[in-house]
Each structure stands twice: as C-alpha cells, then as structure tokens.
Amino acid sequence: MMPLAGHAPADDEDDRASAALALEDLVRDENGEVVLFNDSGQRALAVATGARVLEEGEVGRHVTATGEDVSGFRFLAFDDGLKLYYQPGLDLILVGQRRGS
C-alpha cells in the first residue's frame, strides 16, 4: 500500500475505507481523465491499482473533456496515462501499487 501526502495512512485503512474500486474499471474520457464525486460523504476510498503515481496535487482551473469543472479538486496522475480527480476531504488509499521508479 502506498500512502500519499493528504491520503489516509496505511494503519487507518480498515477503519476509514468502507468502499473500494479497481482503477482499471474506471471509464476514462478522451483525455484519459476520470472524476470521482463523493456524494456519499465517505471519508476514504480504497483504490486498487498496479499503476504508479507519477504526479499528485491540487487542480487550478480545469474543465474535463466531458464538461466537469474540477477546479480546486485534488488529482493523481498514473503511469498508465490515467488522471484521477477527486474532491478535497476524500482520502484515497492506494492498494497494490508498484514500487520503484
């Protein structure tokens, strides 16, 4: 498991992540982007992936190809080309991530 800055630490996984999804199951837009909306109010979400995170941060002004305004969201960019946007306040727990450069 790979905890990231602003993400739930590994010790909190069982207590905080009540839902999980597989990164490869997400449907990307034409730019390889996916937006997660947290209408459930969950504090954490486990994401299973074999891809490595290349970049993470906070989005400035940006609208996706599908018209979603993700300005102010957090993002993770993976080595498989996917860029995942998610709302601040949601901790992502990455499970099964490859190590190394």
Q: Is the pLDDT of residue 21 over 70?
A: yes
Write down how long the chain is: 101
Give the start-to-end residue ranges of the domains of the chain: 10-95
32-90 pLDDT, tens digit each: 999 999 888 789 999 999 999 999 999 999 999 999 999 999 999 999 999 999 999 99
Provide the pLDDT for residue 39.
85
Contacts of 68 (CB under 8 A, 6+ apart): 35, 85
Closest to 30 (Cα-Cα) out of 77, 74, 67: 67
CA–CA gap between residue 72 and residue 92 (Å, rounded): 16
Q: Is the pLDDT of residue 17 over 70?
A: no
Give residue 8's pLDDT. Answer: 45
Residue 86's H or E segment, with its range, is strand 83-86
Do 95 and 41 form a contact (C-beta atoms < 8 A)?
A: no
Question: Which residue matches tokens 């306040």?
Answer: 89
